[in-house]
Every structure is written in C-alpha cells, then in structure tokens.
Chains A and B, each alone.
Chain A
Amino acid sequence: MISAASQDRPAPERRHAGAASVAVVDTQRTELLKLDNISKIFGGVKALQSIKFDVMPGEVLCLAGENGCGKSTLIKVISGVYQPEPDAVMLMDGQSIEGLDPAKARELGIQVIWQDLALFPEMTVAENIAFEQNLGPRPRLVNYRQMKVAARRILERLGVSIDLGRSVRSLSIAQRQIVAIARALVADARLVFMDEPTASLSHAETEALLKIVRRLSADGIAVVFVSHRLAEVLDVCTRVTVLRDGQYVGTFPTAGMTQTRLTELMTGRTFDYAVRTTDLSAAPIVLQVADLTRRGEYDAVSFAVRKGEILGVTGRLGAGRTELALSLFGMTRPGAGSISLDGKKLSLGSNRDAIRAGIAYVSEDRLQLGLVQPQSIGDNTVAAVLDDLLDATRLISLKKRDSLITDWIQQLAVKIGKPEDAVSTLSGGNQQRIVLAKWLATNPKLLILDSPTVGVDVGARAGIFAIIHKLAAQGMAILLISDEIPEVYFNADRILHMRNGRVVREYVPGATSIDQIERDVHA
C-alpha cells in the first residue's frame, strides 16, 4: 500500500487565464452581498445552520458542497423563494434587506439560472431573453422590436451572436445556456447564480461560457458558480465557499487548493490514501475496444479491461466519456471500430443486446434513468432480469422474484423498510445499492459505472466503493467513469484520460502523482 501523503502538496500556482483577468478582490470595498447567521428549518430538519456568505462585486465565487449540503436551499433563501429563520443578517451594498421575495430579489438584481434553464423551447431567442417584457401586473401590447433590440444589445455585450429568430428548441445546450444568461442580464442582474452550468458542455463550449463569465465579472457583475465538480471549482473561481450538511465550513482561496483537499472539505473525510496494487498480469482481457469512433462524440478510442480490473476514465467535462459508455451499452451505435467481450466481437443493436452479452451500465442520472422512482424497491431490483424469473407457465414466479429481492438486499446490505415501499423513500446511497443490485442480478462481465457517487452522501460512498472493490476481487471487469480525480486515483488500477473524445494518456496510480494527473487534465 503506497501512501500518497507525500503527494498531497499544494498545487503550484496554476496559470489559468480566468484568474488573471478577474479584478483583484479589493477588501476595502463593501461586499455586494453579505449574509450571516442564515438558518432554515423544514419540519424540524435543519437544512441550513448559521450560514455565512459574502460576495464582492465582480467576483467569481464558487459555492461548493455535496448534494444535500444545502446549496440549493441557500440559493432559494437568497433569491427570496424561502424566508430564513429570524435573526438572519442580509445586507446588499451594506444596506439591510427587508421582506425579500422573488420579485424583490429580481429588483435587487439577484438572478438564478437553475440547471434546467427554465427556457421556453418553442419561443424564439429574442422572446426568451426579453421575456420579462411580457410580464407585469397588467396585460399590454407586445413590442417585438423593443424585445429584439434589448436581446441584441445583451448578446453583443456578451460577445456572442445567435440568430434572434430561431426557436430555443433548435439550439444546442451551450447556446441555450447563453440565452439563459442573457435573460438574467436583461433584468439588470448584479449577482448571478449559475447552478452546475457546465454539466453537459463540451470543452470548447465550457471555455466560451467562462469567457462570458469573465466579461460579466469585468462589468462588475458577481457570478456565483454552484457546483460539486472539483475541476470546475478550482479552474474558474478565485474563492470557494464550502458547505457541508447544512453548515458553513469556510471560504478559501482557490489558488493553492487541491482537488483532494477540496474533497476533504466538502465531505469531511480524509481519503484513505491507498492506491490499488492488484496484480493483473495474468488476468485475461474481458473488454477490448479498438478504434471506436462516433462522429461528434469520441474518436479512435482503444483500450482493454482485464478480469478483476477497475479501469478509471476521467477527463474534463465534454470529453466524451458518457458518450463512449452509452455506445458500449448499446444505446448508440459507433460509426467505426469494434467492441469485443471475452474475445468475441459484439454487434449491439440495443441495450438489450449489451445486457445479454454481459454488459451493465449504471447511469449518472439515477433519479431519471437509473431507477423508476415511484415504483417499489422490489420491482426496481428485478427490472432487468424478468426473463430469469419465469416458471413453467412462462409467468413470473413470485417465489423466485421474492427470493431474488431478499438475496440482493441482504448481499448489498441495503437499508430498507419493506420491498413494497417506493424506491424514492430510500436515501441516495441505498438507492444506488438497489441500482447495483439490479445490474448485478444480470451477472455482468463488464460493469460500467458513470459517476456512481453523485448524490450519495459522504458516509455512504465508502460503502459503495467497498462493494465495487469486492466485485473486482471476484473477477468482474469494471469501468469507473468519474470527474473527480481523487475518486479514480484511489479506486482504479489504471486511469485513462480522455479529452475531446480521444484517449490522450494512460496512468497508473502510484507510478504518477495525483497532482501530475490533475495538472494534465486541467492544462
């Protein structure tokens, strides 16, 4: 077991253009927004406890924390959707804010761009940007020209050009995001919250977005990136405020911060600084990918995964990892190249072919794609293996079904009430165990995990990885896709770094330092 403690040195000053052109935070000026002692209680549960928060004008700040740490609640308090508990201190430009509600927040220049963007797809770009003009207490005539003028002005200010007459539906995600930002600006925003803005963007689009953010910042508009993605946080912001379990951990400069340290702050746990040292030289190859290409998604990808190996795949957002995974799972068809499992070339017409061949995929989106939330725990568990539960009459044998469910719940130590309960009643960690149970029941040879610990609280992550390591020890080949370098570094046998759809380098944890990998990935 190699201890990586010596490798956890603060990263050298990273030269990212972002920090260089952002105005140096002048502590003599008043904060744009200053919050203190913000608490929020929902039915006895403390969602927020005495939170401190401040943003300087023109600053690019990150609000970081795990899912469920209270980020969303805090934003809703700031944007007037929720009222904080009494004795809260809220100052804007040094003046106390009274009676904050959504309308007042908008007046003060506080705008929130949620992850779903909340745009109107059938309407044009101009109308979406200038939609505020269509609101108001009394019905009025629409002034399309005025809307177009306002929209064009804002887009110019952002340095982008999008055809104002196009429907938002026809735009790419990146373009839609720009429309959302433009909409926030038209309302004379002074403080813009952006919730996980780079989640679905390619590298180039992320750069374009960050360019816009810097322009905003240069104009004196403060931008708060809300995120749990380490890469984003460290690259984009000058300071990061960390929340954990509804509590304020602290505000730190990002210069000198490492992903590992940030993770520790967000999770409250220090890493078990041990890398894997399994000897896989004798292990046969389970998955062989050769020159796999799909236009616009990934290009000439080749790699192999051995029996019992955990192969990590990391990279910046938009690197093509999930796209690759979906092709391995049969959801999309590659244009060229081959996928072989146990030496046999696969032709995957659908995900059912993949499952039959022995490939399983744990999606990043557990809530929408991983589980059918309103249905029972039991039904979710057996969803992929119904064909194995038939009795002589070709109907589902309730006995087989029930015993399968009990077996897996026991094996994976899932904490549930009754199998008939809706799966939505489980915690994130237990839900993920059910997802694993579902896929393990198919007896896969290759298990693809896409960001498996998103939305799983701190305490439960170690348990999930313990299961994963045990599976590898039992001979399963595992592909571990994750944004978080510490997650792959300390859990994978090898790491592939993907960028712009290509595999650019392969690392062996232990042979290369985690810092080096972080530097390479974020270069």
Chain B
Amino acid sequence: MPDLRKLGIGSIEALLILVIAVMVIGLSLTTSTFLTLPNLFDLLNQSSVNIIFAVGLLVVLIAGGIDISFAVGASVVQYLTALTVMRLGGGNWALGFLASAAFGFLMGAINATFIYRFRIVSIVVTIATFNVFFGGLMFLTGGVSIYDLPDWWMNRVSLITLKTSSGVADLALPVAVMFATVVATWFLLRRTTTGRQLYAMGDNPEAARRVGINIGAMHYIAFGWLGMMAGIAGLMQAHYVQEVVPNALYGRELDVLAAVVLGGARLGGGRGTILGAILGILLTAITANGLNLLGISPYAFKMIIGAVILIAITLSSGGFAKLVGSRFASQRVKAFS
C-alpha cells in the first residue's frame, strides 16, 4: 500500500476520492448518460470556472481569511474587461487575460486594504464589498448584459472534439485555463517561499510576525491572487456563455466556498490543499449533474450540499481541540516514565 501522504493525499482527499468513486459507480449504473464522454467533458467544462475560483479562494483561506465578494467582483471585472477591450479596438486573448487579471487584482487589493490597513475582520469587509461591487455594478450598468463581445472572446475554442456514440464530446478552452491556474496556484503554494509564508501566516499569525514575515504583503498577495483568479474565471465564464451578464455569478461564491471547505480548507487558516479544493468542486459538480440526470429537482442540490458540509464540519473538526484555547489545557503533557 503506497504511502498516500507522500503523494499529497491526506485523509480528507482520500475520503473524497472514495465518495466520488461511489457516486460515479452509482450514477453509471442508474443512468445511461452519466458515464458518457459528452457528459463527462461537459461536466469538466462547467466545473472549470468554479475550479479557477476555488484555487483562488483556497489561497485566502489558507492565509487565514475569508472573502465572499470574489464572484460579484468577477462580474465587475468582466464588465471592465469588456469595456476595455472594446475601447482598445477589439483586443485579443492576451489583452483579455491581462485586463482580467489586473482588474481582478485591484478588486482583491481593495479588500486587502480594508482588512490589513484598517484592521477590519475579513468577513465584515467582504460582506460590505460584496454589496458595493454588486450594487454598484447593477446600478451603473442598469442590469444590462453585453452581447456583442469581440470575436476572439466569443468564438468557441475547442481543445478536443470527439464524435462518440452518445454524441459529440467537446472539451473547451476553460479546461485548459483551469489547468494552467491550478498548476500556477500549486506552484505558488507548494514551491515558492511566498506560498509557505502564506501557510505560516494562516497557521500562527503571531509567530509569523515574529519570524519576520511581511504580513501586509501577504494580505495583498492572498486577496490579490484570489482577485486575479476571479477575474480570469469571469473571462472564461463569459467566453463559455458568450455574453457578459452582470448577475450571472451572483451566489457563486457560496457554492465555491462550500466546495473548498468540503475539500478540507478551514476558516482558521494554515490548512487546505489544491487537490482537496478540486475534489470538492468535482464532488459538488457530479452531485448537481447526477441530480439533473436522475430527474430530481435541481432545488434539491443546495439542500444536499448544505447538509453534507454541516456533517463534514461536525465530523472533522478535531473535536474539542478547538474549544480548548488556553495554553494549559491544550498542552497538558501526559507521559511520565
């Protein structure tokens, strides 16, 4: 039995893989359409945007914060990007990515400033910026969508197209971008000293400060990264649906947060893996897909996800360890020779 830990698979990831495997088996047996290439490719296409969001949010959770404004922030970035490329005469993918990432970073930096500079708890700041971004966007745009995006943005880009017995299986561009962002985030978190410092800050902020980590910079990097990922996710979402709709991403933040938490990240910081986040998203995507194929009301989805997270939190919280905050009780040494 290989040491799973060395492969980076912890107990939560292993459990998720197991659950997903069970669901996949169950769905292939009960529906004829689940285990078909078109369906699976579709699943991947649709999850890609959420996975891009998820790896961004993961960074913030690991650093010890939370952000619920990133989805509506992504909508703002979509709009700004659209306006920018149209103002600059059409643009291209390079400009699109650049603009999305830059505007996204800006949204994240706004959050970071209120959280770090003005010492306001991140949940409160991002509840506020959520409202400012969304309300502001809807007010200024009048809720109007943008249909006439430049061709490069609108034209469907297929990575792989296969004709199968169950239909055409098409893997779209967002999957490739998703792959790139996952690798980039993995690289940041696991292979750079900056990523390790983010983990440290989330794990023990006081120790991080003492050891010399630049806490301010870490805030901007974490929220900025989420902003960039959100911007890119928005770029892909607009590409996929071929229009920019200001309230299309409204509420997405909760789905993504739920999935990332399922994948093992916690609000306390210092914990969470890329694999876990991806598995969390896949789990929720397969659940939604399965419910759809089984003809169960789509409304059941949120209910199931909410219940699952509550159960997951209850089972995995490490029991009373969190309740016991004091140095003494938590550090009671047992052994004596």
Are A and B in contact, CB atoms below 8 Å, in the complex? Answer: yes
Who on chain B is nearest to A118 by CB?
Answer: B207
Determine if B335 and A364 form an interchain contact, defined as CB atoms under 8 angstroms apart. Answer: no
**Which of B207, B213, B326: most chain A CB closer than 10 A?**
B207
Determine if B211 and A368 form an interchain contact, defined as CB atoms under 8 angstroms apart. Answer: no
When chains A and B are docked, how far (Å) is the Cα of A450 from the Cα of B206? Answer: 28
* Interface assignment of A59: CB less than 8 Å from any CB of chain B: no
Summed over the interface, the residue pairs from A and B with CB atoms below 8 Å come to a total of 111
Contact with B along A166-195 (1 / 0, CB 8 A): 000000111000000000000000000000
Determine if A121 and B203 form an interchain contact, defined as CB atoms under 8 angstroms apart. Answer: yes
Determine if A200 and B191 form an interchain contact, defined as CB atoms under 8 angstroms apart. Answer: no
Do A323 and B204 contact each other (CB < 8 Å), given the known contacts A118-B210, A120-B199, A127-B196? no
* Interface assignment of B334: CB less than 8 Å from any CB of chain A: yes
When chains A and B are docked, how far (Å) is the Cα of A265 from the Cα of B212? Answer: 37
> Which residues of A lie under 8 Å from residue B326 when comparing CB positions?
365, 368-369
> Which residues of A lie under 8 Å from residue B200 when comparing CB positions?
120, 123, 131, 134
> Which residues of B lie under 8 Å from residue A142 when comparing CB positions?
190-193, 195-196
Do A119 and B207 contact each other (CB < 8 Å), given the known contacts A140-B193, A365-B327? yes
| A123-161, CB < 8 A from B | 123, 127, 131-136, 139-142
Determine if A121 and B197 form an interchain contact, defined as CB atoms under 8 angstroms apart. Answer: no
| Number of residues of chain A lying within 8 A (CB) of chain B | 44
Who on chain A is nearest to B330 by CB?
Answer: A173
| B180-232, CB < 8 A from A | 190-197, 199-200, 203-204, 206-208, 210-213
Determine if B193 and A118 form an interchain contact, defined as CB atoms under 8 angstroms apart. Answer: no
Q: How far, in Å, is A508 (CB) from chain B's closest CB?
A: 27
Determine if B335 and A202 form an interchain contact, defined as CB atoms under 8 angstroms apart. Answer: yes
Who on chain A is nearest to B212 by CB?
Answer: A135
Do A296 and B193 contact each other (CB < 8 Å), given the known contacts A120-B203, A123-B200, A131-B211? no
* Interface assignment of B336: CB less than 8 Å from any CB of chain A: yes
> Which residues of B lie under 8 Å from residue A500 when comparing CB positions?
336-337
Chain B, interface size category, equals 20 to 34
> Which residues of A lie under 8 Å from residue B270 when comparing CB positions?
120-123
> Which residues of B lie under 8 Å from residue A131 when comparing CB positions?
196, 200, 211
* Interface assignment of B5: CB less than 8 Å from any CB of chain A: yes
* Interface assignment of B164: CB less than 8 Å from any CB of chain A: no
* Interface assignment of A201: CB less than 8 Å from any CB of chain B: yes
**Which of A122, A127, A139, A296: most chain B CB closer than 10 A?**
A122
Q: Is the interface of B mostly helix, strand, loop or mixed?
A: helix
Contact with B along A202-230 (1 / 0, CB 8 A): 11110000000000000000000000000
* Interface assignment of A452: CB less than 8 Å from any CB of chain B: no
When chains A and B are docked, how far (Å) is the Cα of A136 from the Cα of B194? Answer: 10
Q: How far, in Å, is A441 (CB) from chain B's closest CB?
A: 23
When chains A and B are docked, how far (Å) is the Cα of A134 from the Cα of B335? Answer: 33
> Which residues of B lie under 8 Å from residue A296 when comparing CB positions?
334-336
* Interface assignment of A343: CB less than 8 Å from any CB of chain B: no
Determine if B193 and A134 form an interchain contact, defined as CB atoms under 8 angstroms apart. Answer: yes
Q: How far, in Å, is A322 (CB) from chain B's closest CB?
A: 8
Contact of B333 among A102, A114, A201 (CB under 8 A): A201
* Interface assignment of B165: CB less than 8 Å from any CB of chain A: no
Determine if B191 and A141 form an interchain contact, defined as CB atoms under 8 angstroms apart. Answer: yes
Determine if A318 and B193 form an interchain contact, defined as CB atoms under 8 angstroms apart. Answer: no
Determine if A204 and B335 form an interchain contact, defined as CB atoms under 8 angstroms apart. Answer: yes
Determine if A205 and B333 form an interchain contact, defined as CB atoms under 8 angstroms apart. Answer: yes
The 10 closest A-B pairs by CB, nearest first: A118-B207, A296-B334, A122-B270, A204-B337, A139-B194, A120-B203, A134-B193, A202-B336, A134-B196, A368-B326
By a beta-carbon cutoff of 8 Å, the part of chain A in contact with chain B is: 102-103, 114, 116, 118-123, 127, 131-136, 139-142, 165, 172-174, 200-205, 296-297, 318, 320, 322-323, 363-365, 368-369, 500-501
Could you pull out 29 A-B pairs where Cβ atoms are within 8 angstroms?
A: A116-B207, A118-B210, A119-B207, A120-B199, A120-B270, A122-B270, A123-B200, A123-B203, A131-B196, A131-B211, A134-B196, A135-B197, A140-B193, A141-B192, A142-B190, A142-B195, A142-B196, A165-B5, A172-B333, A172-B334, A173-B331, A173-B333, A200-B333, A202-B333, A202-B337, A296-B334, A296-B335, A320-B336, A369-B326
